[in-house]
Structure 1
Amino acid sequence: MHPGRATGVAGLAYARKLRLLVTVTIIGVLAWFLLNVLERETRHAEERAANMVLAQLRAALVIRGAEVMLSREGDLGAQVGINPFKLVEHQWLNYQGACRSQQPARGNWCFHWREQKQTVNRPKGWLIYTPRQRIDLDRRRTEPGKPLAWKVTTEFADRNNNGQREQDERPTGLKLSPVSLTAEAAPTQDAQR
């Protein structure tokens, strides 16, 4: 009998420990792989859900813009900054309404309105979304917990293709435009405190 070779009870115990170690290793690798897949799929689901909300709000703005343009007293400029969630008759689970803090909870939307003169009937402001994780939203790369904002603005026939509306370029509809919270919204937020 070879002295280095384990036999009998000691050999069986060694074989069981080796099988247990291999089994635990395989299960660990599979669990790690499945957790990566789960994380990737939750990121894709959040990305699709947020882009779907933006698409539905944009569709509602197209309809609202057409209604305003077809009405005799319609003024697209008066629609700038409106809350697009009010245009869709749907109970949004992740829409918190008016923002109660500087940003909504992760994975939620809110409407940050700014103070207006007493003569203005509607609150005007920004639509804000705070992603749960890093996603691509509206062709922008997001960071988890950092809010993104959009504002309802007017589209116009840009005749000279400079991207800026001149006096002779008439508005043609409504759209959601990305807004930088640090540049445009910060002074308004400070004014409300």
Structure 2
Amino acid sequence: MQSARRTDASALVLARRYRLVVVLAVLGALWWFLLGVLERETRNAEERAANMVISQLRSALVIKGAEIMLSREGTLAEHRGINPFPLVEHQWGNYEGLCEAPKPAPGNWCFLAGKQKETVIGPGGWLIYNPRQPITIDRRQAYERQPLAWAVTTEFADRNGNGVREQEERLTGLKLDPVPLTEEAAQTQDAQR
């Protein structure tokens, strides 16, 4: 009788351990799935936020270009390379202002002012974004902690469709174009200090 009780007790202990292992395995699988979903959603959120900033800045540049053309005070060419962030009346939580380092903190924007030649009119610089993780911004693949850059340029009426502005083709507005961020751009910033 004693041995039967021990066998029943040990079988009960084994059944409880088996249930505990099954529950822990199910919880582990759910936790793994949840972490994957969380990572995907944070990537989607960062991608949407960065693309929204680009879209808002482009809209502000369209308005600024129209204001310049209507006021006839100044030219569109004088506004190449401007910092587009001040054009939008919004307190940007992830905008650092002028770049203090070659690149902003992960997930942040900054404006890298370029060194101007004496013959160049107006300011010049690049808008820099440093992604936290691999995402797609403005149809460009961005990799973790590898900054992307944009510059304010002018649009023109391309009558012959060659993509190059000739003397007779007039400027029609301002736009934000992706540009390669090279070591030369970062060295330009360091030379200003």
- 2:128 alignment counterpart: 128
Runs of 5+ in structure 1 lacking a partner? 1-5
How far the C-alpha of 1:122 sits from its partner, in A, is 5.5
One-letter code aligned to 2:40: R
How far the C-alpha of 1:72 sits from its partner, in A, is 2.1
TM-score, normalising length: structure 2? 0.91
- 2:3 alignment counterpart: none
1:21-170 matched pairs, under 5 angstroms: 21-116=21-116, 123-170=123-170
State the Cα deviation string for residues 22-69 of structure 1 (Å, max 9, x = none).
000000000000000000000000000000000000000000000001
How far the C-alpha of 1:163 sits from its partner, in A, is 1.3
User: 3-state SS of the aligned residue for 2:182?
Assistant: helix
1:172 aligns with 2:172: yes
- 1:18 alignment counterpart: 18
Runs of 5+ in structure 2 lacking a partner? 1-5
Q: Indicate if the aligned counterparts of 2:156 and 2:165 stay in contact, CA closer than 8 A.
A: yes
How far the C-alpha of 1:159 sits from its partner, in A, is 1.2
Change (3 A) 1:57 1:102: same
How far the C-alpha of 1:118 sits from its partner, in A, is 7.9
Q: Following the alignment from structure 2 to structure 1, what is the Cα–Cα distance between the partners of residues 56 and 140?
A: 18
One-letter code aligned to 2:45: A
Task: Report the number of matched residues.
Answer: 188
State the Cα deviation string for residues 141-182 of structure 1 (Å, max 9, x = none).
110000000000001111111111111111100000111011
Q: Indicate if the aligned counterparts of 2:150 and 2:177 stay in contact, CA closer than 8 A.
A: yes
One-letter code aligned to 1:152: V
How far the C-alpha of 1:119 sits from its partner, in A, is 9.6
How far the C-alpha of 1:8 sits from its partner, in A, is 0.6
User: 3-state SS of the aligned residue for 1:176?
Assistant: strand
More moved, 88-97 vs 183-192: 183-192
Change (3 A) 1:167 1:183: farther
State the Cα deviation string for residues 71-125 of structure 1 (Å, max 9, x = none).
1233000000000001011100000000000000000000000233689896420
One-letter code aligned to 1:172: T
User: 3-state SS of the aligned residue for 1:41?
Assistant: helix
Percent of counterpart pairs with the same letter?
65
TM-score, normalising length: structure 1? 0.91
- 1:8 alignment counterpart: 8
